Homo-oligomer: A and B are copies of this chain.
Amino acid sequence: MNRPVTLKDIARETGVHVSTVSRALDPNARTSLTREVVERIRTTAERMGYRPNRLASGLRTKRTMSIGLMIPDIENTLFPPIVRGAESVLEPAGYTSIIVNTDSDRKRETKLVDVLLERGVDGIIHAAPYRSDPRMIEVARRGLPMVTVNRQIENCDIPAVVNDDPGGIAMMLRYLHENGHRRIAHIAGPKNLSTGRARIEAFRATAQELHLDLPDEALVVSDYFDEQEGRRCTMQLLDSGAEFTAILCANDRLALGAFDALRRRGLSCPEDVSVTGYNGIPFLDLIPPGLTTIQIPQFDIGRIGAELLIKMMADPDVTIPRTTILPVKLVERGSVKHIDPA
């Protein structure tokens, strides 16, 4: 592989010192040089095909212009739009992101944080932390700019960009209520995730406001946000003897699992049971009967998270809101049936 062109090469070619070349190529330092010298250096740099060595400059300046992006799993369709949202601001700003998949495994997460630290990332965006995460808090406290998006870590001051969970759940529950549903079951998300917790609390609060009866059997908590758990929890609801005309699921994948469980039990949605989801992942419109869900602004969550991070990296003392809550909207499809209140 033929050696890349360095500042030294350009210096030799133009007959100036390497530091002059460095300054000529730096938009900030260029002021103190002769317009003519700058021009000469820039054109020969161009001609020689110079590409700065980010490693070297990063070593000296302690800024790598790269950030770590931690997600649970890129195959989970919730995350790619968040990633693109983040990159939509990082890339134009000259940042490069190192994406790591944690598989929601704490051991892996710890190891991956170390990997990011070794690579000298200038900041971290964590798209799916646990509610409690001492390691991340420690890293943030040591001074590494960090934001969480989609979920948040509790009892710390790491800025978070999240969707309006309470608002979205309340909206959905009211929607079911307006459509005549009175006995509504809930498949909640894992309790160790901020979204799981926020949604179940919102469900309880709104149910109370609406004077809905909420027997214990009508609420089942999942261990993971996935189809298999949705299936299992739905089966459990069905077997519990609880009576309900609708199931409000804490996310879309749980709802997809519910679809499947109902089908297996010979029940049809929405004829026998209405089902709702949360998040608004892709393809939902193509899967019958069409999942009525809460659409969260995935792209914007990523975008705004990255914007905040960039601010923090530029000025470590800047004040950032602890929580930025983005609005959601209800998208009506076919999985909810209008019924006469029992």
Query: Is B75's CB under 8 angstroms from A101's CB?
Result: no
The yes or no answer to A322 lying at the interface (CB within 8 A) is: no
Q: Which residues of B contact A52 (CB under 8 A)?
A: 118
Identify which of B80, B97, B256, B316 contacts A286 (C-beta below 8 A). B256
Residue of B nearest to A96 (CB): B98
The yes or no answer to A51 lying at the interface (CB within 8 A) is: yes
Query: Is B144's CB under 8 angstroms from A1's CB?
Result: yes
Which residues of A from 249 to 278 have beta carbons under 8 Å from B? 256, 259
CA distance A2 to B15 in the complex (A): 41
Q: Which residues of B contact A51 (CB under 8 A)?
A: 114, 117-118
CA distance A74 to B298 in the complex (A): 14
Query: Is A75's CB under 8 angstroms from B81's CB?
Result: yes
Query: Is B142's CB under 8 angstroms from A1's CB?
Result: yes
Q: Which residues of B contact A97 (CB under 8 A)?
A: 98-99
Task: Give the distance to chain B from A146, nearest Cβ to Cβ, in Å.
Answer: 11
The yes or no answer to A176 lying at the interface (CB within 8 A) is: no
Q: Which residues of B contact A58 (CB under 8 A)?
A: 55
Q: Which residues of B contact A44 (CB under 8 A)?
A: none
Q: Which residues of B contact A286 (CB under 8 A)?
A: 256, 259, 283, 286-287
Query: Is B84's CB under 8 angstroms from A101's CB?
Result: yes
CA distance A256 to B99 in the complex (A): 30
Which residues of A from 87 to 128 have beta carbons under 8 Å from B? 87, 96-99, 101, 114-115, 117-120
Query: Is B54's CB under 8 angstroms from A119's CB?
Result: yes
Query: Is A120's CB under 8 angstroms from B55's CB?
Result: yes
Q: Which residues of B contact A114 (CB under 8 A)?
A: 51
Q: Which residues of B contact A73 (CB under 8 A)?
A: 84
14 residue pairs bridging A and B, Cβ less than 8 Å apart: A1-B142, A51-B118, A54-B118, A54-B119, A55-B120, A59-B59, A74-B74, A75-B80, A75-B81, A80-B80, A97-B99, A99-B99, A259-B286, A286-B287
